[in-house]
Each structure stands twice: as structure tokens, then as C-alpha cells.
Structure 1
Amino acid sequence: MNLFIGLTMLILGGLSAGSSYVPLKGVKGWAWESGWAVQGIVAWLLLPLLLALLATPHLFAVLHATPMGTLTATYAFGFLWGLGGLAWGMAVRYIGLALGFSIATGFLSSLGTLVPIIAEGQLNTTLSTASGRVTIAGIALSLIGIVICGRAGWLRDKDQKSNTVFNFKKGIAIALAAGILGACFAFGIAAGDPIKQNAIAAGAAPQYASFPIFFVELLGGITVNLAYCIFMNRRNRTFNDYRQAADIKTLKANYAFSALVGALWYLQFVFYGMAGFYMGPYSFANWSIHMSFMVVASNLWGYHYKEWANTSRAPIRWNNIGIAVLVISGIVMGIAQAVA
């Protein structure tokens, strides 16, 4: 255990995740689906496979020894999560980096905690314990934070009536879907635990033993995202994006920026997975710290790119309050795990 290294990994993971979509702003002349397809191949296929191979001796033998039911469940949860990842990207497109991350993250942290409790019929049991009541309080705070950020977005939408880039109503609905489906990633990690145990038995270091799970799960994610992008390429007749742009320099830059999105996105799992090892008994705080820095980083980028330009002070003030409430809610849920 090394708390300094663990906290550093969590902070880097949150900053990486919160900054991951920024390079898409450097993609010029491509349809959204083209840049999304390239980043998806890097984030959900190439890097997971590479790191799983590096971390796991005899990777494919390990997967072959894993029950098919485990592989299927892990892939299926990854497929559902992939729908959420697709929705997350669209939410950022419709309501910006700041609101997209804040609202989708709020839904993800609250619903990802609450839905399993309700689905397993454990709500009354949860409310009967101190840690359970603190957890529910954290969820309530998260939902309040979402409402506050939503109000900020609504006010911004009113101030920016001439802004045709953002679509608040559509974006908020997509962010909700992203939050609900995004919770499936945690279920996939739980379902894939036998893969992790097989990897450790084969000689993988414990801090890297989750990489084979990510590989299988993200195969489900890339399946749905690539299928959607190909569909949109065909419908919008944008297949030519992959081989042309304004000039060869722009084409290379588009590939580089799109690939950077994927690299930054996947790096969060590298940092987060390593943090779990170094934080030891303090791992209860991992998720809240990771999500908090993700929200903060994405909002700083949102302000940098003037997503709140041409608005009054009120929307910005509401957004800052919403960010603070979301961060506090994550801390409260971390405290709940500590109490447990």
C-alpha cells in the first residue's frame, strides 16, 4: 500500500477521463461518426488488447480456460455499456463538455449505486444500516447536483438562443441514458472476476489482472459503437472521411486527434486499476475521487473553450454550485463505504 501513489493514480485517472474528449475539437472536416469510430478502435480494441497481452501471460489460454458463461456475461454488459458510451459522446456533443460530463457522471454515480440495490430487493436492508443511509444520502445529493447543473444548462440555453451547437433538451435525455447504461461497466467487471483469477493464476500481477476483463468487456463496447458509426457513415455518405480531408496534413491530424481521444479515455482505467492496488484498505474512496476529478477537469475545459460564453452570471453560478454538490455527493458515498 502507498497512499501517495494511489491518490496520484486516481487524480491522473480523473483528469485523463475528464480531458478525453477535448482532442475531438481538433478534428476538422470529418463527420462526428468518423472521429468517434477511430477513437473507439483505439480505446476499446487496440489498447485493451495490447495491455491485456502485456499484463497476462498466455492471455488467450486464460480466456479459453474461462467458462463461456462468464465471457458471455462480461461481453454482454460491455455491449450495454457501449450503448451508454455512445450516448455519453452524443451528450457531450449536444450540451458541451462541462454539462455533458457533470450530468452523465451524476446519473452514473447515483443510478449505478441505486439500481443494483433496488434490483436485488435490498432497499429496506440498506436503509436499516448506517452505511446504507449515508449511501442513500449521497445518491440524493448526486440527484440534487444533477438538477442544479440541469438548471444551469437551461439558463444557458435561454441566454444563447442563437447558439445552434447545443441542444439542451436532447442532450439531457441522452445524458440520462448514458448514466443508466454506463453503470453496466461495473456489473461487467464483477461478472468477469473469474477471468481475473485465472490471469493471476497464470502469473499476472494483481494490480494488472483486471486488464483481461477490460479486453473482453470492451469488445462488447466496440461492437455497438463501430456498428453505429458504420451505419451513420453509410447513411451520411461519409466513408470518404477516412481517406481524405482538406489536405494530407489535416487528414493525419484528424487520425492523431481521434486516436488521442481513445488513448486518454483508456488511460483512466490504467490509472484506476493501479490505484486500487496502492490504496489498499482505503479503496473505498477510489470511485468518489476519480469521479470528482473527472467532473472538475471537464468543467475547466468547458470554461476554457467558452461553452458558457454570452451568458449571464446566473448560469455559471448555478453550474459551479452543481459541480460542488456532485463532488460532495461522491465524497459522501465514499464515506458510506468506509462506514461499512
Structure 2
Amino acid sequence: MEMIGVLWALLAGVMLGLYALPEKYTKDFKYENTWGLFFILTMFVVPVIASIVLLGGFDVFGMVDSSIIWKMAVASVLWGTGVMMWGKAINHIGLSLGFSLFIGTVILVGSVIPFFVAGLPATNVFGTIMAGLVVVLAGVVMNGKAGLAREQDEKDAGKERDESKGSMLKGIIIAVVGGLLATGFSFANAVGAGPLGEAVSELGLDAWKTAVAVMFPIFISGGIVMGLYFIQQLSQKKLWGDFNTPRLIPNFFLIFIMAFFHYAASAMFAFAASKLGASGNTVGYAIFNASCVITAIMSGIVVGEWKSASSKAKGFLYAGLACMVVGIVIIAVGNGLG
């Protein structure tokens, strides 16, 4: 069973690392068209279908105190804003940096948020997790330096940066701030996992489906923020007409893949954790996050994001990746000590 869990955690990480890749192949869509449609699908359509298919409907949400759902909803608004900024960051600085900076920031802050909900763990657990966070922080800093070095390399090579993307520094800031806001997911999960898990158990459902129940109020609440933002942007920039293109069906298919991968990755990780038993949230956590970052960075390299970068810039990128993977493993070990 444990090998099955490892494979599912690995697949979940790869799916999350690849989710934004189809965006590079959409045609005739502006940023607002692509990501607006993506957020509608991943925040509303996919969670509703998943809840009906996997939870048998929405009864589970009426079995917990409404205050729990409201707390989750408020935190999820922050998460939704953060994920929206993540999409913007990827558009600015590419897959490699967008993922590594965002995920790194989420890990840095998200790993300690549960402490504020459940209290501090034992000293050895806390110390090990904090050591891992320091290593992850070093990785985030290295990746930031890689991005700035790559931008300088492109300037030295006479390659003009797309003005619509803004500066590399701006993209890095968007990714980091987005990661900070996205830790609202960790808080919402810490608040809702227990009560919703009990409700899932009362309904006789598999324990891993708690993740599906937790994700529904998080995605719907975060999706409201994103939906309003993109409706305003599409209207202000008069981009609704861009949906009327011969590429609509191919674009929709690509964006639906993005939405499915983005949502399914979290549910698959929960399933993997259940198959890994006692080590599910430790070993699984490391495999999931590490494989996600590795996949995103490698896919960014494959599609040519770093073709104009010097060995110095790539060195920072690889060093940052190594630090993040090592840090994630240390954090997982710390969680395992608990």
C-alpha cells in the first residue's frame, strides 16, 4: 500500500507542477481571458462536480457549525487573492520562478500556521521544522537572485522584455506576496479539517474524501474574489469579444486541463496520504511539494524560459531548487517526529 501512496503523491506533485503549462499554448486569448476562464472552471465547476461525485452531494456541510464554514470562507478570500496573483506572477516571470517562489513562500508561512491553531509542538519537532524552513528560505532567495540574473542576461543579449509582463522584480514581488496571502488555505484547512472529517466519517465515506469536503468552501469562497476581479478586468479592457475566436474550443480544452490538474492535485495528495498510513502527511508532503517544484522548473526550462540565461543564473536556479527540496524533506522529518 505504501508504494501506491508514494506513486499517487508523486503524480499529484507532477500534476500541480504542470497545471499552468497549457496556458503557453492558448491562442487569441489575453491574460484575462485565459485565467478568468481557468478560475471559473477550477473554483466552481470542478469542485461542484467533485462534491457531487465523491461526497454524494452537499449534506456534509450542513453537519458542521456554520461558524467553521465562515472562518474558512474569510481565510479563503485571502487564498483566492494569492492564487490569482500566482497566475499573474507566472505570466510575468514564467513557470520556473513563478512556481518555486510561490510554493516556497507558501511552505515557509503555511508550515507554521497550524501552530497558531493547535499550539506549539514538542521542542524537537518545532526546532527541526524551523531548520527546514530556513533552508527553504535560502532556496526562495536563490530563486529570486536567479530571476534577476536572468533578466540582466536577457538585457546583455539585447533581448527586449515584453513590456506587458513588467519587470522581473515586479513579478518576483507578486509571486512572494501571492504566496503569503495563499497561506489562508493552510489556516482554512486547519480550522475545517477536524469538523468536516468527523462529518465525512459519519456519512461512512473514506477518510481521504475529507480533502474534497475541505476544498469546497475554500475554492468557492476564493473563487468569488477571482470571478469579480476578472469580470471587472474583462469589462474594463473590453476583452469579452476575444472569446469569439475559432480557437475557443481548443483553448477551452487546454484551460479545462489546467483547472482539472489544479484541483485534482490536492485531492490526489489526500488520497496518497491515506495510503501512506502514519507517514502520509510527512513522506507524502515531501514527495508532493518536491515533485511539484521540480516539475515546474524543468518544464520552464524545456519550453525555453532559460535559453538566454547564463550559467550563473542557472546556477542560482538549481541551487534554489536543491535548497527547497532539502528543506521540504527536513520539514517532513520534523512533522514525522510528532
Q: What is the TM-score of this pair, normalised by structure 1?
A: 0.92
Greater mean alpha carbon deviation, residues 70-79 or residues 139-148: 70-79
Aligned mates of 1:121, 1:5 — CA distance in 2 = 30
Q: 1:293, CA displacement in angstroms?
A: 0.5
Superposition map of 1:17-166 within 5 A: 17-57=16-56, 59-115=57-113, 117=115, 129-161=123-155, 162-164=160-162, 165=165
What 5-or-longer segments of structure 2 have no aligned partner? none
Match of 2:190 in 1: 190
1:163-220 Cα offsets, whole Å, 9 max, x none, are 2256211111111112111211121122223223212212222222321221111101
- Aligned length in residues: 330
2:149 maps to a residue whose letter is L
* Aligned with residue 262 of structure 2, among 261, 265, 273: 265
- Whether the 8 Å contact between 2:117 and 2:191 is mirrored in structure 1 is no
SS in 2 for 1:155: helix
1:199 maps to a residue whose letter is V
Match of 2:215 in 1: 214
Aligned mates of 2:182, 2:234 — CA distance in 1 = 25
Q: 1:120, CA displacement in angstroms?
A: 6.8
1:325 equivalent to 2:315? Answer: no
- Whether the 8 Å contact between 2:113 and 2:187 is mirrored in structure 1 is no
Q: What is the TM-score of this pair, normalised by structure 2?
A: 0.93
- Whether the 8 Å contact between 2:101 and 2:143 is mirrored in structure 1 is yes
Segments ≥4 residues shifted beyond 4 Å: 119-122
What 5-or-longer segments of structure 1 have no aligned partner? none
Q: 1:62, CA displacement in angstroms?
A: 2.6
After superposition, the Cα gap between the structure-2 partners of 1:114 and 1:198, relative to the gap in structure 1 and judged at 3 Å, is: closer
1:290 maps to a residue whose letter is F
SS in 1 for 2:321: helix
After superposition, the Cα gap between the structure-2 partners of 1:277 and 1:116, relative to the gap in structure 1 and judged at 3 Å, is: closer
- Whether the 8 Å contact between 2:104 and 2:137 is mirrored in structure 1 is yes
Match of 2:175 in 1: 175
Percentage of matched positions with identical amino acids: 23
- Whether the 8 Å contact between 1:78 and 1:188 is mirrored in structure 2 is yes
1:201 equivalent to 2:199? Answer: no
Aligned mates of 1:121, 1:290 — CA distance in 2 = 23
Aligned mates of 2:253, 2:114 — CA distance in 1 = 39
Greater mean alpha carbon deviation, residues 280-289 or residues 260-269: 280-289
- Whether the 8 Å contact between 1:55 and 1:209 is mirrored in structure 2 is no
Q: 1:96, CA displacement in angstroms?
A: 0.7
- Whether the 8 Å contact between 1:48 and 1:215 is mirrored in structure 2 is yes
CA RMSD of aligned residues (A): 1.8
1:279 equivalent to 2:273? Answer: no
Aligned mates of 1:67, 1:115 — CA distance in 2 = 22
Q: 1:121, CA displacement in angstroms?
A: 11
Aligned mates of 2:106, 2:266 — CA distance in 1 = 16
Aligned mates of 1:321, 1:180 — CA distance in 2 = 22
Aligned mates of 2:300, 2:186 — CA distance in 1 = 27
1:24-79 Cα offsets, whole Å, 9 max, x none, are 1111111111111211122111111111112223x333322322111111222222
After superposition, the Cα gap between the structure-2 partners of 1:209 and 1:135, relative to the gap in structure 1 and judged at 3 Å, is: closer
2:50 maps to a residue whose letter is L
Q: 1:241, CA displacement in angstroms?
A: 2.2
